[in-house]
Amino acid sequence: MYEQLPVPYGLVRFGVAPDHPEVKNCIEKFEEVASSPRFLYIGNVTVGRDVALKSLKPHYDAMLFSYGASEDRKLGIAGEDLKGVVSAREFVGWYNGLPQFQALEPALENGEEVVVIGQGNVALDVARILLTPVDKLRHTDITEQALETLSRSRVKSVRVVGRRGPLQAAFTVKEVRELMHIDHVQFEPINRSLYPPDIKKLPRVQKRIGEVMLKGTPPLSSHSTNSKSWALDFLKAPEQMNASSANSRQLSSIDFTHQTFAPDTDPFSKTAKVLPTEETSTLPASIAFRSVGYKSTAIPGLSDLGVPFDEKLGIIPNDQYGRIINPSTGPGSLTAGHVHGLYCAGWVKRGPTGVIASTMDDAFTSADVIIRDWESEVPFLNSPESDKSTGLGWYGVKDEVIARGVRVLDWGDWLRVDEMERLRGKNVGKEREKFVEVEDMLEGAGFVNFSRRG
Amino acid sequence: MAGAVLNKASLPRALQRASVDMSTSVKAARIRPFHCQSNWPSTAPVGVDATRWSAPAQSHIWNNFQPAAMPAFVRSRRAFSTSPTSQHGHIDPPKPGEERHVTFIDKEGLEHTFEVSDGDNLLDIAQDNDLEMEGACGGSCACSTCHVIVESDHYDKMEEPDDDENDMLDLAFGLTETSRLGCQVKMSKELDGLRVRLPSMTRNLQASDFESK
């Protein structure tokens, strides 16, 4: 398993919210896999940069791409690059200690009003982290830097805005419920007409989310000071981001075009379509989070292996089971076919959606087809040519990678980093205190005086 | 080394399972999710670490197998699910006179009945007996990977699932009116004789284009 960071676990470490530690228990399973003598961890090696895909190819029978979605979808509207407009993905990476985003420094002390654009669980995670009293996060594995910034936050109101209605929103009920249960945070009641008169007739999942939303939060006591609020705004599409009059680089408000359900659509169906109306409105915002989905990108050298990339869907084209397909490799001249020995799994296979259960099933399917192909003796990575794979795997490229000055971590190295992080955490009353810089991770693994690129 | 010559139906259950796993022939029906094919072949000489391919505790037949007689690639059904570090999965045998019975119907439709104690939850029972049930969150009601469907009329005798459990069930594949999370159902006198089914993703794997060539 090649991993570009020194540390493993991807989104479980850098995506799952720090206040959801139980979700991270799946790490126990990963540790079990990693304990296999047939598993090799190759950390801190970026495939496509530190080692070319075509250099790896001769040494393997099969490769599986499961590198996820490393970019986010843009809104494509004016003002999106103003100061104060933050990618939710980067914000999540920042508070979870992803090295790439440690310099984000969200200006949470700049104003009281936040708008989150998009209505998935990432949007709700952002809202929850902003609204949760910072003391409730102190025992989690959120970074110290994030705690420090959050403790200076002046944010009082978070509006989570979506283009469609509540029955089309992507968030799940647990995340909505959690937001209803934060002390001193009031939910602005939603417009009842967005739901059918008899909510009990909705399918179970939609019905239960609806019940939570319509119930809202209990009224605050009149003595309550220092209260915060959150709201879900529906049927509003962002039109443009406006700078403040005092500072032409700083966000101050967002214009929205109101939407209405298309005449040929059932507004209570999951797939309802919307159309823009003439009506517009403006929401004040000192910070806006863009949270309209993630996107995978091609890694360098995919095309050398005959792997296409679907830029529009942001996935590697595949047969839905996990076999990578190429339009020109089919058995007939007009059919797409499997690119021998190449497979994919996870978000790069099916797009950036789903919970752990769906990702798990998806991964099992990909593994199943690899086994099935192997047992069916279909061609693998190097079998169409006469020479088979060298069977060397990592050891076929190791010298070349090390010669580039790359410090490579094996599983034992990671376990040392893990132990160090837990120790650091113990000192501050946390499960762990993550290293947030690659250099510190390497030092934690016991590498001293390294320099990555000379 | 073909399990094919064995008449599976005539063998005790544990051995039936073993014979399936011992077969090296290529049969699509054998393909199971990765997680039930783990139990890595040891790098140690065969027989050195017999616990690596330990079988269900109640299988005396399996325990009497001579490890040296078995090929290195034999895999048990032991899944990822039971790791030495994992906190769940410890089940004590029931006290005499307080045995409760629970039947799991697996993805292949096979029934597995176990004698268990009050208080044991279905996830622990399944994992302790090598059934294919995940528990990705370690039984903390934070995922839906231990989803079971209650087949017997015991559903109404159970306490209602709470909001947390229902929130996770909402994300489960193949949700039914009698779905529960295995980690939240604890055995009791009232639930003696419980029957639950493990839902299966209908994956219907399609062959690679090249298979038929």
pLDDT at B164: 95
pLDDT at A332: 65
- The shortest C-alpha distance from B107 to chain A (Å) reads 14
pLDDT at B18: 37
For chain A, percent of residues with pLDDT exceeding 90: 86
Predicted model pTM: 0.83
For chain B, percent of residues with pLDDT exceeding 70: 52
- What value does the mean pLDDT of chain A take? 93
| Per-residue confidence band for B45, with pLDDT thresholds at 50, 70 and 90 | very low
* Range(s) of chain A covered by CATH 3.40.50.720: 11-65+295-444
- The shortest C-alpha distance from A177 to chain B (Å) reads 9
Q: Residue B89: is its pLDDT beyond 60? A: no
pLDDT at B116: 96
Measure CB to CB from residue B136 to each of A174, A360, A377 and give the nearest one: A360
- The shortest C-alpha distance from A276 to chain B (Å) reads 31
A156-211 confidence digits (pLDDT tens): 999 999 999 999 999 999 999 999 999 999 999 999 999 999 999 999 999 999 99
| Per-residue confidence band for A112, with pLDDT thresholds at 50, 70 and 90 | very high
A327-375 confidence digits (pLDDT tens): 877 666 667 789 999 999 999 999 998 888 888 889 999 999 999 999 9
Q: Residue B9: is its pLDDT beyond 50? A: no
pLDDT at B53: 35
| Per-residue confidence band for B50, with pLDDT thresholds at 50, 70 and 90 | very low
- What value does the mean pLDDT of chain B take? 67
> Are B137 and A25 a contacting pair at CB < 8 A?
yes
CA atoms within 13 A on the CB side of A209: 26
* Identity at A205, one-letter amino acid code: V
pLDDT at A56: 96
Q: Residue B83: is its pLDDT beyond 80? A: no
* Range(s) of chain A covered by CATH 3.50.50.60: 71-294
B128-170 confidence digits (pLDDT tens): 999 989 899 999 999 999 999 999 999 999 999 999 999 999 9
For chain A, percent of residues with pLDDT exceeding 70: 95
Choose which CATH entry (3.40.50.280, 2.130.10.10, 3.50.50.60, 1.10.630.10) describes domain A71-294: 3.50.50.60
pLDDT at A335: 72
pLDDT at A333: 63
pLDDT at B43: 36
Choose which CATH entry (3.40.50.720, 3.90.1150.10, 3.40.50.300, 3.30.43.10) describes domain A11-65+295-444: 3.40.50.720
Least confident of A19-28, A374-383, A422-431, B31-40: B31-40
Q: Residue B41: is its pLDDT beyond 60? A: no
> Are A363 and B34 a contacting pair at CB < 8 A?
yes
pLDDT at A221: 65
Q: Are A109 and A152 within 8 A, CB to CB? A: yes
What average pLDDT does range A55-83 have in this prediction? 95
Enumerate the residues of chain A whose CB falls inside 8 A of the CB of residue B43. Answer: 37
> Are B170 and A364 a contacting pair at CB < 8 A?
no
In chain B, domain spans? 99-203
pLDDT at A180: 97
Residue A175 at interface with chain B, using a CB cutoff of 8 Å: no
Q: Residues 79-108, chain A: which have Cβ within 8 Å of B?
A: none
pLDDT at A382: 83
Report the topology of domain B99-203: Ubiquitin-like (UB roll) (3.10.20)
> Are A26 and B209 a contacting pair at CB < 8 A?
no
pLDDT at A327: 81
Q: Are A319 and B190 within 8 A, CB to CB? A: no
Name the nearest CA neighbour of A206 among A126, A266, A274: A266
Q: Residue A38: is its pLDDT beyond 70? A: yes
Q: Residue A43: is its pLDDT beyond 70? A: yes
What average pLDDT does range B105-126 have in this prediction? 95
